[in-house]
Amino acid sequence: MGSFKVKLNGKYAKVRWKNGMRIIDFMHQLCVNRETHLAKKNGRLVSELEEVSAKDRIEIFGVVYGG
């Protein structure tokens, strides 16, 4: 198990990482609500169920919504 840098709302955070982890695992470690946040993998919007490799760049950001 190693560490991995995730960009969260514009700032970098370190998370624990091992092979086979998904973006949702990072969201859980960072206490991020998956209903109010989206994720990008290598600049592309992806599902939180997407697997992450050591070479990927992950960004998690909050969305603005309302009526």
pTM of the model: 0.88
Report whether pLDDT(67) > 80.
no
Q: How far is 4 from 11, CA to CA, in rounded Å?
A: 13
pLDDT at 43 over 90: yes
Identify the CATH number of the domain defined by range 2-62. 3.10.20.30
The ranges assigned to domains in the chain are 2-62
**Mean pLDDT value across residues 22-42:** 95
